[in-house]
Amino acid sequence: MSQNNNQNKVGLDAKGLQYAFLAGAKSIEAKKDYINELNVFPVPDGDTGTNMTLTITAAAKEVAAITEPTFANVTKAMSTGSLRGARGNSGVILSQLIRGLCKGLEGKEEITTDVVASAFERAVATAYKAVMKPKEGTILTVAKGLSDKATELAKANKAPLEFATGVLEYGREVLNKTPDMLPVLKEAGVVDSGGEGLMTILEGAFDALTGKVSYDFSNGYDGENAGGVKSDRPAPDASGLRLTNSLGIDRKSIDTSHIKYGYCTEFIIILEKDFPKTEEEKFKSFLLSIGDSLVVVADDTICKVHVHTNHPGQAFEKALEYGSLTSMKVDNMREEHREKVITEAEKKAAGVSTSSNTIEIAGQNVSWINVDKKDKNGSEPAKQKEYGFIAVSVGQGMNDIFKDLGVDHLIEGGQTMNPSTEDMLNAIDKVNAKTIYILPNNKNIILAANQAKELTEDKEIIVVPSKTAPQGVAALIAFDASAKAEDNLENMIGEMGNVKTGQVTYAVRDTSIDGKNINAGDIMGIDDDGIQSVSTDLVEATKELLAHMIDEDSELISIYYGAEVKEEDAKEFEQYVEETYEDCDVEFNYGGQPIYYYILSVE
């Protein structure tokens, strides 16, 4: 090794890398609300600070659990944890930056400024590759600036402290110039929020390594300690715990004797030793000795497991022989069966059909095949069907519409709850089909879906790039079971192109955008091209938005009213639409979606 390389060796061992990563995660967790406020669009969505925090937190928990850190196991936890935990576009890009950085550090025995510069370059290349149409003035621009400066200073043989200080200072310079690259940032008077998030993580890591701040992560990255992160996601619905129901059915009297194995058990093993095919087969044999409905999917870093068993603890104990566990989930199938019996009885009592396979959409009766049935033992059918569907949805009405159109599995999520790549992978595991179509129904979820596609090897995943729920509905109607997969994707995308979508919500912050001054609490009408109406009155904002969307070619107006709109107000608005646009067919549906008072669709 040359003298310059010796001089520029970074005094960072595996324990230091572990500590720096956790400190960076803690730094963005502390500033996430500030970063959220930098978002230009004033809608109540899954904001950048929240998504980046949840993404890096998923990795931080795995990194903190390592008791004997090495460069190999720390970088592996950083990479796999962030990839699976990625949420929203900003979270996916961050996970790709971390993934590329870790690839750049792979196999290194010591860290020099040259190695850091090369790892930065690998990180940027990986992240740019993940984005179909990279836009300058964003987190990608800041990351590239950091990389370019790192290369420059490494070639100049700068000492480690001068190197790190120079790179971070230049990153801030690039971030401060992002408003000059994106007019929308300049109009709002903010820098790019994703770039701010990236700089916050790196500066937090640097401050910890140089002793400016200190943390105690000895209890892991959770709970009431320095590394604790409070989740922004809502608590799980507890309705399944109720012991009575509207029909007075005694839950304990419902027969579940046909269910041989009572617990649906899922988990992921972070592999910490070799896991060849022979070892995988031994592991499968053990699991089959205590259960059935087994699915084991492994690569060189992780192993995903699904099994029905009466002894989840034995499955966990065996798995611990191969590595650490994460994403552990146990569902009581007997309780789920009781809940299903009660729900169907309640529907029957209310006069709601539990078996109809037809729904009227756009004046037509659309049929589907319910192919995700379970057999009498509560097990998934062994034979895979040809195709299946996963959709992201929120709101009981919207959920019912997607189910009626044949969606096999719904992922709860949307604007304020961008599901993670891990959520997508779990859904993919549950759909027993050779080809699975994923409908994100939100532009901030498409990248996470694509990332799940890349991480899935045993099934063909097709991401239909639906940006809104109405686009997802249109795509499902266009699906033809007799057509080839690529033809279906083309047809579904083509049908989505015929749909204009509008959404009515409220502003969460004061801002100026598209020449409009908006105050927190104002009602906004937003279509595919941006904000079209701003008012203090909900009905006026909605009328103005709809008028902007209608043209001489419009034939069908579909309206979904949200959870916060009273039924009588919705009916009054329906009457207005029918009278005003009498040349169009009008469909009115209860969507039950939060955040958005109305979702409009014009075809």
pLDDT at 103: 94
Q: What is the pLDDT of residues 465-491, one digit of tens each?
A: 999 999 999 999 999 989 999 899 999
Cβ atoms of residues 502 and 599 within 8 Å:
yes
b (16+ CB within 10 A) / e for 138-168: bbbbbbbbbbbbbbebbeebbebeebbebbb
Q: What is the pLDDT of residues 311-332, one digit of tens each?
A: 988 999 899 999 998 878 887 8
Q: Where is average pLDDT lowest: 97-106, 124-133, 266-275, 508-517?
A: 508-517
Q: Which H or E run includes 60? A: helix 48-64
pLDDT band for position 8 (50/70/90)? low
Which pTM value belongs to this model? Answer: 0.67
pLDDT at 238: 26
Q: How far is the CA of 385 from the CAs of 295, 434, 600, in angstroms?
A: 16, 6, 34
Phi/psi of residue 273, each to 5°? -155, 170
Residue 472 CB contacts under 8 Å (≥ 6 apart), including other chains: 391, 393, 402, 439, 441, 464, 466
Q: What is the pLDDT of residues 370-391, one digit of tens each?
A: 334 344 445 554 588 999 999 9
pLDDT at 242: 26
pLDDT band for position 365 (50/70/90)? very low
HSE (CB half, 13 Å, CA atoms) of 156?
13
Above 50 in pLDDT, residue 156?
Answer: yes
Helix (H, G, I), strand (E, B) or coil at 9: strand
Q: What is the mean pLDDT of residues 29-34?
A: 91
Residue 304 CA to residue 179 CA, distance in Å, equals: 43
Q: What is the pLDDT of residues 57-80, one digit of tens each?
A: 999 999 999 999 999 999 999 999
Q: Which of 76-80, 231-235, 393-397 has the highest mean pLDDT?
A: 76-80
Above 90 in pLDDT, residue 4?
Answer: no
Above 70 in pLDDT, residue 186?
Answer: yes
